[in-house]
Structure 1
Amino acid sequence: MIRGLYTAAAGMIAEQRRHDTVTNNVANLNTPGYKGVNSVNRAFPEMLISLMGSPDDTKGTIGKLNTGVFAEESLINLSQGDLNETGRSQDLALVSDILVDGQAFDDSGKFVDANGNVTYQPQALFTVQNADGERRYTRDGGFRTTADGTLVTPDGMQVLGVDGQAIRVDGTWDNVQVTSDGRLIDKETQQPLAGNPALLLTEVNDPNQLVRQGDGKYVYAGDANGLRQVQAGERVEIKQGYLERSNVDASQSMVDMMSALRAYEANQKIVQYYDRSLDKAVNDVGKV
């Protein structure tokens, strides 16, 4: 009996976290460059199948049975968002569809490269730097300039160029044109600006290694070999005068929110049932 109570309680916790995740997505529907988050739950049958397919052949403890579900992790959905034209010269949007040679699905349904290694859809992001010199990555291209012409994010992080230094422009930014490959040129003469500045676009091979830091920023937690500068000829384009909208699907989010709420209520009723049963077992059965 107690096992069922714990199983229902675990379901309530998992659905509460899923509801919180969806609510946060809905709250950021109008946040430029925001990427939705999906909560991933794991149940006992899925864990059992995972262990059965493990090369280590891990054995469980005798007499221990783990039931229920838990919120294992939250995965960032880095799919391309729609573009919104602003006409503002400092607004930049990324459009990326980077391909991996030989990508295909294997027999187990995993996405693999030509060598059979599990792979992911690489993503391109703007590279920024905080006051401590630490690099962060973002898809929010709603930049602004400081008094000395430095291009920064709304919270003051410097936007980096291919030389690893902050992008800085003499004069007004309205005279600057950003080409599709990130080079900064004079809008009238079509000549490169002094120093041939260009935006540093970073390609992340495994987007699952990106950890959300808030304000649309991510920190990379994987191996350094998983990062590289976007190369010429890759399917990455910068659109000046545009901002990338959030990729959250409002209608699907509302469905997910209601689904989480109803699942929470169902588990809650199970907990109430066990509560009534335990109450009778303690107060009524003992009187017989």
Structure 2
Amino acid sequence: MLRGLYTAASGMITQQRRHDTVTQNIANINTAGYKQVNSVTHSFPDVLISLMGDKETGGQKTIGRLTTGVFAEESMSSFMQGDLKETNNSSDFGLVSSLGLIDPATDQPIPFDASGKYVTEDGEVIYRPEVFFTVQDANGETRYTRDGGFRVNAAGGLLTNQGQAVLGSDGNPIVLQPGVTIDQVQSDGLGNLTSLDEEGEPVIVATLGVVVVNNPHQLVREGHGVFRVDNVQAANIRALEAEDNASVRQGYLESSNVDTAQAMVDLMAAQRAYESNQKLIQYYDKSLEKAVNEIGRV
């Protein structure tokens, strides 16, 4: 009986964490560049239940296996492309990417699933590469984001909405030249920012630091749409190249990739599952009360 009580309690904790994850996604539906988080659950190891044998034979009879509960194993980000929203703001930049990989065994494009993952016949897990802007936090550390809603300060520095410096392809913060405003800057698909010189000729003033993260699930979420990388080698980060199927769109922002309808369904499902486990605990509580106060009295 106590085993069932613990199983129901673990189910309540798991559904609470699932509910919190979905609530976080719903709260960030209008956050530019936000990537949905999915809660991954896993069952406790199976327990083998056996019937004790009698004294004559000494053998045991296997009854079966029992799973003693479930727990929230981890929260994984979904890096699916969000819709682009036109803002007509020169300091807004959206990333469009549909990067793919070629399977060397079949020489065909790898069919990634909705989460951007593919498992080979040998059990190897391959993730779809994703592109990110590079920014610098207050401690001088490099971070990555899909939120391209930038602004320019009085010194001409290109900053995020959180005040982090936007890095160029050379790894240094982007600072516009004196007399050059962001409205005079045009960006191409690779993030090259150009403006006209005194003779009216286009000149590259900076290049946005757009990188390709070949294993985006190595990114660690820090909040406000910013990620860090603890293992750079495992993430396998490189600069965006012309042949990559990705581009920068000026005057656009990438919307959140949260599926509102699915999020509401998941929210209700988590609530109903939580209530079901709660009723089981109440049932076990009443059963234990009877076992102690009534059966024990007899």
TM-score range, shorter chain: 0.7 to 0.9
2:189 maps to which residue?
180
SS of 1:233's partner is: coil
Which whole-Å deviations, capped at 9, do the CAs of 1:26-50 have from their partners, x for residues lacking one?
Answer: 0110011011100000014xx56xx
Change (3 A) 1:123 1:283: same
Per-residue CA deviations over 1:185-238 (Å, capped at 9, x if unaligned) read 1169461234xx211111111111111101110011334251111122101111
Find the partner of 1:206 among 196, 207, 215: 215
Following the alignment from structure 1 to structure 2, what is the Cα–Cα distance between the partners of residues 68 and 113?
Answer: 30
Question: Which residue identity is paired with 2:36?
Answer: G
Q: How does 1:117-266 map to 2 (within 5 A)?
A: 117-170=124-177, 171-186=180-195, 189=200, 191-194=202-205, 197-224=206-233, 226-266=236-276
In the alignment, the residues of structure 2 paired with residue 117 and residue 69 of structure 1 have an alpha-carbon distance, to the nearest angstrom, of 26
Show structure 1 runs of 4+ deviating over 4 A: 112-117, 187-190
Query: Cα 1:234–1:104, aligned 2, differ >3 Å: closer, same or farther?
Result: closer
Distance 1:113 1:87 in 2: 43
The whole-number CA distance in structure 1 between the counterparts of 2:128 and 2:67 is 34
What does the per-residue CA deviation read over 1:170-198, in whole Å, with 9 as the maximum and x for residues that have no partner? 2211100011110011169461234xx21
Indicate the residue corresponding to 2:93 in structure 1. 92
In 1, Cα distance between the equivalents of 2:203 and 2:161? 26
Partner of 2:83: 82
Structure 1: unaligned runs, 5 residues or longer? 49-63
Cα offsets for 1:57-106 (capped at 9, x unmatched)? xxxxxxx9761000000000010000111100000000011111225479
Aligned residues: 266
* Greater Rg over alpha carbons, structure: 2
Provide closer, same or farther for how the CA distance between residues 153 and 114 of structure 1 changes in structure 2, counting only shifts above 3 A: farther
**Deviating more after overlay: 212-221 vs 112-121:** 112-121
Q: Distance in 2 between matches of 1:281 and 1:190?
A: 89
RMSD: 2.2
The Cα of 1:112 is off from its aligned counterpart by 5.3
- Secondary structure of 1:164 counterpart: coil
The match for 1:277 is 287
User: What's the offset of the Cα at 1:115?
Assistant: 9.9
**Normalized against structure 2, the TM-score is what?**
0.84
**Unaligned runs of at least 5 residues, structure 2:** 47-64, 104-108
Specify the alignment match of 2:60 in structure 1.
none
Contact 1:92 1:141 in 2 (8 A): yes
Would the aligned equivalents of 2:142 and 2:228 in 1 still touch at CA under 8 Å?
yes
Post-superposition Cα deviations, 1:251-271, rounded to whole Å, max 9, x if no partner, equal: 100000000000001101100
Larger proportion of strand:
2
